[in-house]
Chains A and B, each alone.
Chain A
């Protein structure tokens, strides 16, 4: 399987997108809206022209500004799936899928994506999930050598999304194509990709497997983006193994990480437990933050509770036992070993 190699600079309205990235399996770029994510896919597919750099797939150069090479989009074998799918509104499903098939039969693809019964339907008559399957089938009918997905799940409602996410993950595994997808949702990225890159204002902040991003976030932004609590404070060397951090709110926390000066204390919601009472037994291995209960959100079998500045995830059973309700006072408790200290970005 040929890998996609990119290394280019593309000036966008307010910043320059600079990306050096090799894609062998599935890579997801995540970042807030306006980080330049879609532009990455447009540059790889040739719809926009970076002012500097290279894009190559295997031995084939698609773009090399130094050698004056830039293949037009129709000569780069990409399967680009647009965020809103960009199906041809004047063609039925079969004609949409067959558009890039170069005369090859598409019945197999229609079957595989469960859209054979919709072959004569027009895109306006399809549901969001069906449109996405048509868009994927159309992209694959071209027999691409790399798959590019722009926010593949954002146009779907919450119910469809979970289902489609599973199907898409399976498809990406089966295809054995290098795939580059962009999304603003870290969970989607982690569920679909082998490697996740965090893109902020055109710069890649960190690239690695999802587990690594969670275990060792490079900075506060990456930590917050992957769903962690980020508390700002000032660290100073404590006694023994521990670093003491004084938060902006005055509380003192302890971490097993080493740092000095302005830092972000990172702790994931599943590392935090919640208590209603706290015996004033100072134990530096255990951090305690007292706060008002800001919100209580029930997810499947977990409950997400906001205590002061900290979000905790507890089981539904313990949430009930603790009688957590908005406005009450509670303690967020987490171990010093459960925290990471990162530079604030």
Chain B
């Protein structure tokens, strides 16, 4: 057995549970999801120009997740902040990414949108924008995979049920933007499945940022509603 595979098996060993632990893990997932929903739907609706109100539930969620990792003795390496399995995870992600790109190009042509891979954000160089979205993707994938996926595995074990739960949570957080809900559900399935086989957050975050770039470059902005979610979708 290779050292990387053994390491991943050790990480899996932490995910064996009893019934009480399953309930606790389910509560943890519900708690983090509720924080994000509060930020998206309640705080954002009343915050006006202030981002402080939105930052409070997000800060609570991150603080909680960090303490939870400590109490469960999870290391950064366990969570997927590592490089040894980066290429293995990247290889698994490559085919779905190519497929999604082809589907996006076809859909973009179908809707008659202008395909432009250079004009993501006016005023920001493409590399800067990609770096920014990589950071944002890493934060999202840490919550989604490093926390929710790991807790989902505590609830229902490795496999399609926990993968489905992660994808469902990810897409629900993008309501009411219907197109994003569909896209994030598909993305959530792929990223969750790959993470369970090769837990590497850098690879899924890179995939996340590249797929966001493909989406905004191929599909019309009117279709994606400028990637707006939560109460801001209506604003």
A binds B: no
Residues of B within 8 A of A (CB): none
